[in-house]
Structure formats: structure tokens, C-alpha cells
Amino acid sequence: MVPFSLFSQNRQITGRVTDEKNAPVSLASVLVKGTNNGVSADDNGRFSISVPSGNPVLVISAAGYGSSEIRIGVANEYSVVLMNSSDLSEVIVTAFGIKKEKKALGYTVQTVTAEDLNINRQNNVVNALQGKVAGVTISSTGGAPGQGARILIRGINSLDAGRNNQPLFIVDGVEIDNSTLETGGGDTRGMTNRAADINPDDIETISVLRGGAATALYGIRAANGAIIITTKSAKAGKMQISYTGTYGFERVNKTPDVQSKFTQGFVGTVSRKPEYDPTSFWPSWGPTIAEAKALDPTHPDAIYKNFERGYRTGNQTRHSISLMGGSELLQMGASFSYSNQDGVIPFSDYKSYNARVNGNLNVSKKIKVGATLNFINSGGSRVNADRYGEQLIYWAPRWDVMDYIKPDGTQKNYGVENNNPVFTLATNRFYDNVNRIIASTNINYAPTTWLNFTYRIGNDFYTDNRTRTAPGPKGLVGELILGDNGSGFIQEHNIKNRIITSTFIANLTNTFGKDFSVDLKLGHDLRDAKQRRVSTTGDTLVVPDLFLLQNAKRILATQYIEDYRNYGFFGDLTLGFKNYLFLNVTGRNDFTSTLSKENRSYFYPSASVSYVFSDMFALPRWWNYGKLKISYAKVGKDGNPYGTTTGFISAAPIGNVLPFTYTDRLGNPSLRPEFTNSIESGFELRFLQNRLGLEVTGYMAKSKDLLLPVKISNTTGFDEAYINAGEIQNKGIEISLTAVPVRSKDFTWDFNINFSTNKNEVVKLNQGLTEILTATQFGYLTSNANMKLIPGYEYGALFGRTYRQYYGTKPEDPIRVDKDQPLLIGANGFPSIDTKQKYLGSTQPDYILSTLQTLRFKQFAVTVLVDTRQGQMKFNQFANFMAAFGTAKFTEMRTETIVFDGVLANGSPNTKPVYLGQGKGPDGVDYGNGFYRNVYRGVTENFIEDASWIRLRSISLSYSLPAAVLTHTKVFTGASLSLTGNNLWLSTKYTGFDPESSSFTAGNNGSEGYSGFSYPGVRSFLATLNLQF
């Protein structure tokens, strides 16, 4: 028997799918109706499909378009036109995966497609969103492999530095955990935000809900907005296989300026001149290189540039393959990805494996069932970038930092008081290993055309195992023990985290007459979260490099248990009039476990109006769409678990007894929920048949009764009390402009700009408090940079010490610095330090602007992403340390004698010349430890730097094989190669590493203000190959 297919008279049908403006509809699906036989059109909309004899019907469809059916006749080539659904009903995914027509929305939702998301090949989905959405501030906390990225929508609206201010992450309607856990010393190791486990190649679209009405339905957890991710789902048709492979390498993109004239040593106690000492603790206060070489012939001709030597070239590899296909009945998809990255700091790496399976089953005309299962394994060797940067400053550049180990495996060092930073990286290790399963299933039952029910349940479960090891001393002669390793230790931290979410929605639709429509949704939503942690530390290892708990002299273990439950009922009613005027009203009542019985239930509503005036009356031809929108929303937010109680904890045993002590934080049984009231208004306009679009939104949000652990007098016996502490306000404007300046057969140019500005202000603090300290970072001579909440100032306002200024008879403001006043110069000719805490700047940007340009010419495409953030200040702790240790380039002035510009205490101008170096100056006066150590490093203001930047975030060039070549291969339906450069160019006044990096982790609200010792930002070059079968 011969297979049927050899003898049937199949025909080859080709064609091109375009929209009504003749633009190609790439990747349109072409299916022979009623069969599994289907293909995808290529990027140019061209397709080629083998059909059986007869007159079969082809069904052509694409996301964002209406579908079309054509009956095959005699001809073999067809042109298919699909109607662009933005004219009809562009569908946006909103809360709970509810798809709403964009025109009906009275609030702002912005969508990013898979194509835009992945142009810069970022592995972390949060980083991938950078520059593509307005109203959102995204910062990668550093360039480490797997480093966490932080996302904030419309500013900070919680006062507690430890509260999560980041938006809710939803994948296919199921909440997933995006926390960045700091357990086990992860606070300085750039731990990963858990949303990074998502495979960006699985994503179809991301909707960003910016708050207020957009998130009113999600309640508590979406008070900071929501990121709604919809993954690619298989469509009925032939199986499509797609492979993407990326290889890239990266280097640090910006290093600080260091001096190169002076070498190791310090001012001599007797000679009072800088003295060279090759074992000195001091890296750079010695004499010039020439003078050192005269004493020590082994001294190199130039000191080592350890801030460049200490970082290597990193590399990354990523492979991703996905399979999708199905019939009208069942569609299934599977994807696998592997990624591996070695970072620019030695001994840092990250690996991730991701496997995902999803399916949709049309059980009957009325019932649809879907399920997803995603398994992820990720983790790597994490380095303490903060410590590395600090130790690099202490390390004398006279010696090569990369020469860190002796043949016997112990530390190679030039003295006894320092530690080799690379030896620290090599021996003081931290590994994490996350195993995660995200599973969800949904069922949709539509008994009639006007009623349907959806139920979705999801489980996000992961274990995170962290191991920290440090070897003990080997006991060899001449061994230099690394202080950080102590007597050796092994720590095992095991974290288990599980979130179950369940959502039920009933949806009724109806029309009244021909003008009115009603859409009512009622639902119930529940979240049940559990976290368990067990930490075991074994310290003092007997066998120095045997990292087993049994090998430790002393073992201590602690545990942590946390549960959280929350559920709510919600309703969403949309009334439509003639399909151009819409009123939407929502209401939600939440019940939470974190507040007491009297306070745990609370209700909040929202209302929005959308008016598509372009549908109501005729507008000029060149103006095809116009919409006005306004919304008001109230959202409630609860506290962290266990805020209502105070209890006793047990501490480490003494002998064989356990001490018990009161906790440091006073709980508060009468905690109330926080509420944010926001108003948003704006318009959306489109011109020239959608070739030009403009969307503008303005908003104001006031958050009250914010929960905060406030520092109280220690004489109460406690350190903090958790109270409803105050009020904060955010207001701003977001503008998105999209244009297609050129559209022709061979060349199109897509132009996108996003602009946003947010102004934040602390309105009020309760309990008679005048200020609250939220974050602080060390600076020498008590020049700590403090982030404080003070009414009238924004969240993230930085305070610290300044130079004393002369005010004469003018009154001196206790908080604000008057830049016009001269410096007060002392009798010794130097300025002095003002110990009052003054306002030094805001860590919040004035505005953020990003632009994405996509140019397509035949088979080539070029995308350019440029973004800028202006107006933010940061404390550069790195510069503070460099000044203290004589490493900074500006300390080359130490050989000079200058007159400080300022006035003396009596108001007369200063004329006294002073020597800036250490010891005896040319005038014979002894200047002690020098200006930089005596004064300069103790002035916080010197290190609050303008961290505004403009950067070329990404440029990408890609080439896709033309359809003609593809059909020739008979195997591939798509093939493209792209070259991408990320972070290629950066312009900033900031003197340290890349100012986007942070000393804190992605989950910490102090992240914005401190960028001193961080994992440096990187510039990367990637090559990506994509094949489709």
C-alpha cells in the first residue's frame, strides 16, 4: 500500500498577507480549515502552503487582526488582507487576564510586544522592559550574572524602606513571586528578583497597569501597579518550532578615575614627608613613583590599574527552543531554554534551565480548559561586589591584585593588614540554587452567549538553597589569614516559598436597544502564601577545606516561619453608550490576615470614564482617533505579617541554657490599612491612519496612613514601633508618542518615544514625628549619607554634612544649603565641616525619557534604544573611600598649595595659602594627615553626585533570510541573525561606576540613593541566531 500523500494531487499555494494599508502582517497563521495543516507567514507576510486538491478553505489570522477566510480556486497565488483590529477593537489584557477593548478603558495601559521586548536580548524580563514603557523606572542593580533588577511604577508610595514597592507580577492570570530574598548575606550579592526566572522568549505581550483604576481589581498587592504577562500560546495549525541561540561577551562600561602618580605609603611620623613602605596599610599616600623606585628597584614603572585588572571579560550563552502546534481541538506548546553567564567580576556566574509546557483544550463549544507547567532551575556563584570594591580601594596599586595566591594555596599579600580582594572572591563563596515550579490551570465555561465563567488556580512554588563557605586557616608557616574567612565556616540556608492564587470570575454581557451595552464581572480572588526558612551555620572548621556541617566545632540553627492569606470579592461594571462613551465602576472588599479582626476587612471603589469623541462626531480626515479619559480610584494596602504582635525570641545558647528576650520591634494591634486615592486623566489621539499616535496622561495619588516601623527612643526597651505613620503624595505626567515616519514597500521606520515625570512628596508624619530615617550608608568622619522622610521633602531625600558657610547677619536655614553663601574658612586656611544634617539632594529623577527606533529595509532591521534619566542625585561612597585613601584622581592635587575661596569668620576674604598634602608643606607648617583626610572625606556633600545619564542602551542589527531562499531550503520557515550591542555609550557626570547600579538589592527601597560599591554595569555584545521550522 502506497501512502496516500504520494499520490494525492497536492498543490502549492503561495500568497502574501497584508493589512488594509498594504503593510505585511508578519507571522500570520495560514491554516487549511478543518485540518492540522498550516504554516506561518514570514516576516514579510509571505506564505507557502501545500493544500489538497479540490477547493479547500484557508483560514488566515494574526494577533491584533481580524481573521479572514478564502476559498482556493484555480489560481495558485493569493493576496489576503486582514483588518487591523486597532480600528475595530484593540484588545488589551487587564486585571485577571480580562481582555478589554482598549477604547473602553478610562485608564492607561501600555503594552509591549514580544518583538520589542526582546530586541536587546535581556535575560531578565524586568531589564527587558527598560525604555519601552512610560511611567516606569527600571534599574538594573548591577551587571552581575543573574543580578536583580528593580521596577517602580509612578514613584514610591510606601514609607517603609523594607516594604515592597514593586508592582505585582502576573503570568497568564496567576500571580508569581518577584521577591529578592536577602537571606544568608545576600544583601550585598546582587541576588536575583524571582521574576527573572521567566523565559523572555515565552512572552507574547506584557501589559503594564500603572495603578489606580487599572489595578483596583487586584487589590492589595497591586497598589504599586501590575505587570501582566501573557505567554505565547499555541494556535491551531502545523507544528512550529523555533530556536534562538545567543552568544555574547561583556566588559565593564565605566570605571572611576584613579590617580597614577603616587604610590604606597603614608606621611612619616618623624620625617613628616610621605614615606614609601611596600608593606604599608596605606595604598596611595606615599611619594611619587620615581622616589619609590630610588628606594626599591623592584617597584614597577607604573602602578597597576587594579580597577581595570580586577574585572575581566564576561560572556554569556543562551539557547531557547519552542514547539507549538495543534488542532482546533487541542493546542499545545513546549519550550526549553538554557542560559549560562560568567560575570565581569571573577568567580561570578549564573546558570538557568527553563522548561515549559502549556496546552489548551476545547472540550466543547462551551467549555475550554488550559494548563501550564513551568519548571525552572537557576542559580550561580554570587560575589560580594560591595566588599570587592571596598577591598580594591584598600589594596595598594603598587602590587598586582591578580597575583592573589601562593603555590601552597594561601593568600598572597604584601603586608598583614590588608586582604587580597581576589583571594576573598576565590575563597569566600556564596552559591544559590533555585528550583521552581509554576503550575496553573484554567477553565472557561460559557453556557450562553451573554454569560461565561472563568476559574483559574495557580501554584508558584520554589526552594532556594544558599550555601556559604569559607576555608579555615591551613596552619602553614607564613600563612596570611583572610579576615573575612575567620576560622572557616559553612552555612546552609534553605528557603521554601509557595503561593497559591485562585480567581473566579462570572461575566455577564447584555445590550439594551442598539445604543447601550452592559458588561458586568463579579469575582472572588484568593491568595495563600507560605514561606519557611531554615538556616544552619557551622563555624570553626576542623579540617580547613572540608565544607560539611559535621566538620564544624559549633553549629547554630535558626528557623523562620511566615504565612499570609488574603481574599477579596470584586465587581466590575462597564456601561457603554453607542460604543464611544463608556463608564466603568469597580468595587472590591478585601480581607487580610495581617491586620486584627476589627481592621482586616476594607472596601474600596474606583470609577472611570472613557469618551472616544472621534466616533461621535466627524473629525478631519487626517485625524482618525481621539479619546478622552478620566478615572478615580482608591486602593487599600495591608501590612506585613505579624505586625500586630510583640513577643519573645530565643537566642544562642550559653552553656546549655537558652536565653529569651523581647523582640526589638513593638507590634501594634490597632494597625489600619493604608489607602491610596488617585486621580488620572488624559487623552489618546491618532492621526494619518494611525501613522502618528500620541497618548498623554496626568495623575495625582495621595497615600495615607502608611505603615512604617518607626525608630523610637531606646529607653522604651524597644528599637522600633510599627505604626500608621504618615502620608505621601505622587503626581506626574506620562507621554507616549508613536509614529511611522516612513512606510513603503521596502523601508519602514517606526519611531517611539516615552516620557514620564513623577514628583513625590512626604506630606505628613504621624505621632508628632518630624523625621524618619529610612536608609543610611557609611561615610568617613560621620559623613554618613542618610535618607530621611521629612514633610515637604520627597521620599529618598538625602541628608548629610556640608562645608560650613558664612552667613554673617543673614539667618541660616537649618536644613537647606544656600549655594550663594561663601565658605567659612578657618584661621588655619581650611574650610571646616558643618555637623548639622542638611538637605543634599533628591534621589528621584526629574524625568525619564526613552526612545525606540526601528528601521526596516527589505531583509534588514535596525533598532536603536536610547534612554535618559535626569535630575537624580546619588551618594558615591566609592568616591568617599577613594578620597580617604588617596586613590581618587583629584587627590593628585596634594602637591599643590592653594587659597580656598571663601571668607573668614569676620567676613573678610580668605587669603591664606595652604598645602593640600600630608606632613610638612613647603611653608614649613605641619599639615597633619592632609586636607583630604582631615576635612574633605568628612563632608557628605562632596560625594553627593549628579547621577543623571543618557545612554545608548541598545543597538541591534538583524538580517532575516528572504522567503524565496527559505522555501528553497524546504526545512526552515524563518531564519534571522542579529547583532546587538547593549549599553554601548553612556554620558554622565557621575564619577564612579555606572550610576544605575546600586549598593542595595532590587527589593530594597534604599536602592535608588546609593551607588558606591556595586557590581559595575557592563557593556555587552551579543550575536543571536533565530531559526524557525
Site for other proteins in 741-800 (CB under 8 A): 767-768, 773, 782
Site string for other proteins, 829-868 (x = CB under 8 A): ----------------------------------------
Pick 319 or 600: Cβ nearer other proteins: 600
Query: How many C-beta atoms lie closer than 10 Å to residue 593's C-beta?
Result: 15
* Cβ contact 118:971 at 8 Å: no
Does the CA dihedral 992-993-996-997 come out positive or negative?
A: negative
Site string for other proteins, 311-340 (x = CB under 8 A): ------------------------------
Dist. CA 666–CA 403, nearest whole Å: 51
Which of 649, 905, 965, 971 touches other proteins by CB under 8 A? 649
Q: What are 426's strand-pairing partners?
A: none
Which of 475, 513, 620, 655 touches other proteins by CB under 8 A? 655
Read off the amino acid at residue 509: T
Pick 719 or 834: Cβ nearer other proteins: 719
Q: Which helix (H) or strand (E) holds 966?
A: helix 963-969
Write the secondary structure of 368-388 as one string of H (helix), E (strand) and C (coil).
EEEEEEEEEEEEEECCCHHHH
Pick 321 or 549: Cβ nearer other proteins: 549
In sequence order, what are the residues at sequence separation of 6 or more whose Cβ sits closer than 8 angstroms to the Cβ of residue 1006?
A: 161, 774, 775, 777, 787, 1000
Dist. CA 796–CA 995, nearest whole Å: 16
Pick 115 or 719: Cβ nearer other proteins: 719
Site string for other proteins, 442-461 (x = CB under 8 A): -----x--xx-x--------
Pick 907 or 928: Cβ nearer other proteins: 928
Which of 516, 577, 603, 660 touches other proteins by CB under 8 A? 660
CB of 772 to other proteins, least distance (A): 10
Dist. CA 206–CA 116, nearest whole Å: 10
Residues within window 255-274 making contact with other proteins, judged by CB under 8 A? 269
Residues within window 546-575 making contact with other proteins, judged by CB under 8 A? 556, 558-565, 567, 569
Residues within window 406-445 making contact with other proteins, judged by CB under 8 A? 415-417
Dist. CA 655–CA 652, nearest whole Å: 10
Dist. CA 915–CA 343, nearest whole Å: 43
Closest to 709 (Cα-Cα) out of 640, 793, 770, 636: 640
For other proteins, how many residues bind (rule: CB under 8 A)?
78
Pick 89 or 644: Cβ nearer other proteins: 644
CB of 654 to other proteins, least distance (A): 5
CB of 756 to other proteins, least distance (A): 35
For residue 728, give the 3-state DSSP assignment: strand
Residues within window 619-648 making contact with other proteins, judged by CB under 8 A? 641-642, 644-648
Closest to 708 (Cα-Cα) out of 760, 766, 635: 766
User: Is 827 an interacting residue with respect to other proteins (CB under 8 A)?
Assistant: no
Angstrom distances, CA of residue 993 to CA of 486, 609, 660, 890: 30, 46, 45, 16
Closest to 861 (Cα-Cα) out of 872, 853, 873, 869: 853
Dist. CA 266–CA 406, nearest whole Å: 27
Which of 34, 653, 741, 808 touches other proteins by CB under 8 A? 653
Pick 570 or 900: Cβ nearer other proteins: 570
CB of 220 to other proteins, least distance (A): 13
Residues within window 177-206 making contact with other proteins, judged by CB under 8 A? 185
Site string for other proteins, 676-715 (x = CB under 8 A): ----------------------------------xxxxxx
CB of 655 to other proteins, least distance (A): 4
Dist. CA 635–CA 570, nearest whole Å: 12
CB of 381 to other proteins, least distance (A): 21
Dist. CA 776–CA 786, nearest whole Å: 4
In sequence order, what are the residues at sequence separation of 6 or more whose Cβ sits closer than 8 angstroms to the Cβ of residue 49?
A: 12, 13, 14, 30, 32, 37, 38, 39, 58
User: Is 592 an interacting residue with respect to other proteins (CB under 8 A)?
Assistant: yes
CB of 472 to other proteins, least distance (A): 12
Residues within window 356-385 making contact with other proteins, judged by CB under 8 A? none
Residues within window 481-540 making contact with other proteins, judged by CB under 8 A? 481, 483, 504, 506, 508, 510, 522-524, 526
User: Is 395 an interacting residue with respect to other proteins (CB under 8 A)?
Assistant: no
Site string for other proteins, 276-305 (x = CB under 8 A): ---x--------------------------
Pick 66 or 185: Cβ nearer other proteins: 185
Pick 645 or 987: Cβ nearer other proteins: 645
User: Is 544 an interacting residue with respect to other proteins (CB under 8 A)?
Assistant: no
User: b/e per residue, 315-353, with b = 16+ CB within 10 A?
Assistant: bbebebbbbbbbbeeebbbbbbbbbbbbbbbbbbbbbbe
Q: How many Å separate Cα 921 from the centre of its chain?
A: 50
Pick 305 or 554: Cβ nearer other proteins: 554
CB of 202 to other proteins, least distance (A): 31
Pick 498 or 743: Cβ nearer other proteins: 498
User: b/e per residue, 941-969, with b = 16+ CB within 10 A?
Assistant: bbbbbbbbbebbbbbbebebbbbeebbee
User: Is 662 an interacting residue with respect to other proteins (CB under 8 A)?
Assistant: yes
Q: Which stretch binds other proteins (CB under 8 A): 589-597, 736-744, 916-924, 949-957?
A: 589-597
Pick 568 or 992: Cβ nearer other proteins: 568
CB of 391 to other proteins, least distance (A): 15
CB of 482 to other proteins, least distance (A): 10
Which of 666, 884, 903, 963 touches other proteins by CB under 8 A? 666
Angstrom distances, CA of residue 274 to CA of 42, 298, 668: 71, 19, 58
Pick 476 or 688: Cβ nearer other proteins: 476
Q: How many Å separate Cα 9 from the centre of its chain?
A: 56
Dist. CA 999–CA 777, nearest whole Å: 9
Which of 375, 394, 683, 718 touches other proteins by CB under 8 A? 718
